[in-house]
Amino acid sequence: MNRMPRSVYEKGFFHVMVQGINKKYIFEKNIDKEEYLSLLLRYKNNFKILLLAYCIMDNHAHILIYTDKIDEMSQYMRIVNSKFAREYNKSSERVGYVFRDRFNSEYINTKDYLLKCLNYIHMNPVKAKIVNSPEQYKYSSYNNFIKKSGNVNNEVINKIFDSVENYLSILNSISDEEIEIMDIEREHANFMIAVNNYLHDKKISLIDVKIDKEILYEFCSYLVKEKKYKQVQIAELLKVDVKKVYYAIKKQKTKLSPSEKGKNVQK
């Protein structure tokens, strides 16, 4: 499915994803999951959004939102993430970024994709082999669907799928292959956000990366060393042989001082 920038859409359903920086397990402790969930629930009524589903895993979270105003969703995620980051850093006695890039969101434009997204969110703990069935996982909205509690908006789901019961009855319709495809799409979306943020911050384009060796060296080193993306992903983006990316990173490393090298050694 082709993805469009959030700014293209003013309202609709969005699959929102957040992840710990360097894939760090920022939600590994139950108290951290509970804190993030409490923030999601605390601020959902402050903005013109509907919280439809969620699942908080150890190093990332999935959230399904409906909004009439895209800016409202952005403000909602910004305040939730910033408040969590502040408390997380304080309790962990650390400083710096907590989340990997900005939050990522995908526009959902069909009922079929909405169903797959809901299933994907609720089946995440099962796929990760944390639990055997979705109702066993405490930090997902699945049980809110069953119990029809107020944590998520069941009214919207009822209108789309006729009833929550009807949705639950077809929960397992999504195949393992479809889940794998969604995983790949999510990772690619995160990769492109990192790329576009870097280009924007440096005020350059991919053309600049391709034609200027110094820019190429820094670009490749940033994505691999700091963002932990694979060399093959960069090679596919630039449409070059992966060896060129490898040598670009190696070349950048030789330019660093001994102290800088120590800081940038890839574990």
Domain ranges of the chain: 6-175, 204-264
Give the mean pLDDT of 77-98.
Answer: 90
The residues near 73 (Cβ < 8 Å, ≥ 6 apart) are: 14, 16, 47, 49, 65, 67, 105
User: Where does the pLDDT of residue 180 fall: very low under 50, low under 70, confident under 90, or very high at 90 and above?
Assistant: low
What's the whole-model pTM score? 0.66
pLDDT of residue 253: 67
Which residue bears the tokens 């963002």?
Answer: 227
Q: Strand order in 12-19's β-sheet?
A: 49-56, 60-67, 12-19, 104-108
* Structure token pair of residue 128: 């990760």
Per-residue pLDDT at 68 exceeds 90: no
Looking at residue 20, what DSSP letter applies? B
> What is the second-level CATH architecture of the domain 6-175?
2-Layer Sandwich (3.30)
User: Where does the pLDDT of residue 263 fall: very low under 50, low under 70, confident under 90, or very high at 90 and above?
Assistant: very low
pLDDT tens digits, 115-147: 888 888 998 999 889 999 888 999 999 888 777
Task: Return d(Cα 234, Cα 1) in angstroms, integer.
Answer: 21
* Structure token pair of residue 71: 């800016």
Which residue bears the tokens 């309790």?
Answer: 91
pLDDT of residue 74: 92
Strands (E), 20-173: 49-56, 60-67, 104-108
